[in-house]
Amino acid sequence: MSINISIVKDYDEMSRRAARIIADAIRNKPNLVLGLATGSTPVGCYQELIRMHKEEGLDFSRVITFNLDEYIRLPPTHPQSYRYFMDENLFRHVNIKIENTYVPDGLSADLQRTCKEFEELIKRAGGIDLQLLGIGANGHIAFNEPGSSFDFRTMVVNLSERTIKDNARFFKSIEEVPRQALSMGMGTIMEVRKIILLASGVGKAEAAAKSVEGPITTDVPASILQRHPNCIFILDEEAASKLVRKAR
Ligand code: PGA
């Protein structure tokens, strides 16, 4: 088992390639269970999916989605909440039924129960068919920071000081950055049927190389993807620049 690598020229080509895989999966299975990610990386892919919906009739009416993570105690109306991000960047531009879009509920009064229910919902949907992922510069996936167990399920996580600082640029001040989030665990992510990980830019090159070619270690959470039976990394040339073995 190893990670399939697809190296493309730049961010736009990465986005189009990912969108095409997702669109083909939806056409093959109109009630696809699709795992989604937030952050700057997937925005271009979502824009391409919106274009395909508008110009080519790509139909989201039966698609079910699950997002990887959400901040705790940030209302869905807050521009930095991941629910708001998904609504703005994808959901309100396509014909998806909003009741079929699941983002962990960071406002829940019983977060442990919410985590369990999220796992239940994924199971009841039949499992995630296709999961889109980004990667952090330190190799993190969702909010699974280095050191997280590969067995974790959806859980409450404390954001690391590094992540709080990194994310402060999106908030008015560092005090406003939530200290906790809900996140699928690597155990949840490893059960999906197919994974597409996107990375663009030189800032991701080291994380990509370590994940693909380095030892499998909790120090680099994405390295566990080497054990996934159906995982593709779509990297632009900069993100692929530190790979030893290159393929196209
Ligand atoms: P980015 O974040 O897409 O904004 O680079 C990815 C991540 O940290 O998982």
Q: What are phi and psi of 122, to 5 degrees?
A: -60, -45
Query: Letter for the amino acid at 125?
Result: A
Which residue has the CA at smallest separation from atom 8 of ligand 1? Answer: 136
Instruction: Report the CATH number of the 4-154+182-236 domain.
Output: 3.40.50.1360
pLDDT at 247 over 70: no
Active-site annotation holds for 100: no
With a 6 Å cutoff on the Cβ, whether 40 touches ligand 1 is yes
The pLDDT value recorded for residue 2 is 82
Note if 12 is an active site residue: no
pLDDT tens for 173-222 read: 999 999 999 999 999 999 999 999 999 999 999 999 999 999 999 999 99
User: Across residues 77-84, what is the average pLDDT?
Assistant: 96
Annotation says 78 is catalytic:
no
pLDDT-derived band at 244, boundaries 50, 70, 90: very high
Q: Is 14 in the pocket of ligand 1 (CB under 6 A)?
A: no
The chain-wide mean pLDDT, for the chain, equals 96
Helices (H), ranges, 57-185: 82-89, 111-124, 161-167
Distance CA 131, CA 12 (A): 20
Catalytic residue among 70, 105, 129, 145: 145
How close is the Cα of 40 to the center of ligand 1, in Å? 6
Q: Is 212 in the pocket of ligand 1 (CB under 6 A)?
A: no
Model-level pTM?
Answer: 0.96
Per-residue pLDDT at 76 exceeds 70? yes
Testing ligand 1's pocket by substitution, the residue of 15, 36, 40 carrying the most ligand atoms inside 8 A of its CB is 40
Percent of the chain with pLDDT over 90: 95
Instruction: Tell how strand 231-236 and strand 4-8 pair up.
Output: parallel
Ligand 1 centre distance from Cα of residue 138 (Å): 10
**Going by C-beta distance under 8 Å and a sequence separation of 6 or more, which residues neighbour residue 201?**
11, 236, 238, 239
pLDDT for 98 equals 98
Residues 6+ apart with CB under 8 A from 93: 50, 53, 54
Alpha carbon distances (Å) from 59 to 64, 102, 104, 181, 196: 12, 18, 24, 31, 20
- Ligand 1 site, residue 187, Cβ cutoff 6 A: no
Which residue's entry shows tokens 């396509």? 94
d(CA 160, CA 166): 10
238 is known as an active-site residue: no
